[in-house]
Structure formats: C-alpha cells, structure tokens
Amino acid sequence: MILEKRKKYLQIALNSTLKEAENIIKSLPISERIIIEAGTPLIKIYGKEAISKIKRWAPSGTYIVADTKCVDLAFRDVDMAVKAGAKAVTCLGVAPIETIDRFINECQKRKIDSMIDMMNVPDPVSVLKKLKKLPEVVILHRGVDETEYSKEKQLPFYQINQIKDNFDIMVSVAGGDTIDEIQKAIFNGADIVVVWKAFYRSSRQTPQLAEEFLKEIR
C-alpha cells in the first residue's frame, strides 16, 4: 500500500488532451494529497505514452493512477502500467472474477496498488467477498453517461460504510464533481475523491479550484 490510510486524497482525472494535461499538471499546487489520474480516454487515444508523459510533467514522487479499466488479460494491463511508471492501476468490478483475482495478484507482485472500479456493479460487497485477496482501493463510481442521461441517479454514498464495515480497505468516490457531492463523500467516510470536470481544460482558476477542493477533503 503506497497511500496512507489516515489521509484524504484528491484525485484529479485528466481526460481531454495531453496538451491540456500538461498545462493542468503544471498549474496545480504541490501537495502530497493530490493524486493524478491518466484517464481512460487519454490512454485509449495516446496509449501508454499518456501515463509516462504525465509522470514526467508531475512533481517527482506524484502518485499516478493508470485508469486502464481492465476487463481481461490482467497481466498485460498491469505490466503496461508498471512500465509506464504508474503507482496504481484500475480493473473493472464487472470483469470476470478470474480477471480481478489475477489483476490484484499481479499488482501485489509488481508492487503497485490495485483499484477496483465498481461502475455499474449493484452490490460491490458481494464482488469483494468473492475475491481471493482484497484490492487496496475500491472505487464507487457513477459513470459520465449515466450521470448525463439519468439525472436521478445518485452517487451510492451509503456503500462507503457498507464496504468499510466489512473490509479494511480504502474507498474512493468518482462521478461527483460539485463541492456538495465532494463534501458528502468525505462526510460519509471516503478516503479519495475523484474529480475531472473542473480539470478538463486548464484555466486561470485551476490552482484555486484545486486548493478549494483540497480544503474540503480533509
């Protein structure tokens, strides 16, 4: 486990272009509580270069997540993420159990953190119970398309404690981008809050926004 269990983290997902990613990274305040994520679209568009470039631009020692959303061939995804310099990599909770088990095992072997993304999983606890070993982080996640097309869909805040009551594990919440949702996530015990909207394009406000989010996440 590379992250500290008692700290709260702000994970900034970069999903637009590499140029934007570079500008955003360079305007962020320096904080050990900032995690930078190479988002899925960025990886699919630029390949592993997205991860290695983000690593190069970020202050040394920054915790970088490769959001590969593994669903099969776990070994390949973990290997690629490690070689590109990531400290954590993601696997889908809807993936076959064999893939998730292989994924967690491979992450342990290669000494990077495993994150299981529970997007579209109705009962994350039941998935965790089926695993041979637990991941380092569970991500509760409402997708962008879900949020956009089904406005009534809520972030499953109640699941944070459901998971923490059953397992000694860090919980991350993704899919809420407003200050209100971030406060709720933290209030409900989340360890990591993932945001992307405010950091899709860099602007003069980028540093303040990051500061404001960091203030809420404590």
| Contact pick of 48, 125, 203, 209 for another protein (by CB under 8 A) | 48
Residues 73 to 92 in contact with another protein, rule: CB under 8 A: 73-74, 76-77, 80, 92
> Rounded to the nearest whole angstrom, what is the least distance from the CB of residue 148 to another protein in the complex?
7
- Residue 47 interacting with another protein (CB under 8 A): yes
Rounded distance between C-alpha atoms, residue 119 and residue 92, angstroms:
7
For residue 61 the two structure tokens come to 């020692």
> Rounded to the nearest whole angstrom, what is the least distance from the CB of residue 4 to another protein in the complex?
29
From 36-44, 108-116, 178-186, 204-212, span contacting another protein (CB under 8 A): 36-44
Which of residues 64 and 186 has its CB atom nearest to another protein in the complex? Answer: 64
| Contact pick of 96, 154, 158, 201 for another protein (by CB under 8 A) | 96
The neighbour count for residue 165, using CB atoms within 10 Å, is 9
Say if CB 76 and CB 100 are below 8 A apart.
no
Site string for another protein, 134-153 (x = CB under 8 A): ---------xxxx-xxx---
Binding residues for another protein, total number by CB under 8 A: 37
Q: List beta partners, residue 35.
A: 11, 63
Which of residues 56 and 76 has its CB atom nearest to another protein in the complex? Answer: 76
Which of residues 120 and 208 has its CB atom nearest to another protein in the complex? Answer: 120
Instruction: Work out whether the CA dihedral 82, 88, 92, 96 comes out positive or negative.
Output: positive
- Residue 105 interacting with another protein (CB under 8 A): no
Residue at token pair 């310099």: 85
| Contact pick of 8, 17, 22, 94 for another protein (by CB under 8 A) | 94
- Residue 201 interacting with another protein (CB under 8 A): no
Query: Interface residues with another protein (CB under 8 A)?
Result: 15, 40-41, 43-50, 68-69, 71-74, 76-77, 80, 92, 94-96, 98-99, 101-102, 119-120, 143-146, 148-150
